[in-house]
Amino acid sequence: MTQEVYKVRILLTILFILICIALTVLVLAQEGKDAGLGSIGGLSESYWGKNKSRSMEGNMVRFTRYLAIGFIVIAIILNLNF
């Protein structure tokens, strides 16, 4: 293994660990997908229910999706034998 490949592998491993930690924190910080009692009173049709993709919760879901894709890609790259 050449020196450059070794350095890239170390950088990818560090990035992989950081993504793992960030994914764990984001998943634990998110609320469940169940509607709860808010759906009984019609609260799901409020401003926050309609604009969920622009809220903090929507941003967390989107960022979690991007981190999960990065996790899978880096896991595949790290498992290649080069």
The pLDDT of residue 9 is 94
Q: What angle do CA 29, 54, 28 make, to 5 degrees?
A: 10
| pLDDT at residue 81, as a whole number | 79
DSSP 24-42: HHHHHHSPPS--GGGGTTT
Q: Where are the domains of the chain?
A: 53-82
Residue 23's nearest CA partner among 73, 75, 65 is 65
Return the pLDDT at 15: 97
pLDDT of residue 32: 76
Question: CB of 8 within 8 A of CB of 77?
Answer: no
Q: How many CB atoms lie within 10 A of CB 19?
A: 20
The continuous run of DSSP H or E covering 75 comes out as: helix 56-78
pLDDT averaged over consecutive 10-residue blocks of the chain (82 residues)? 89 97 94 61 54 77 95 95 74
Contact 48, 55 (CB under 8 A): yes
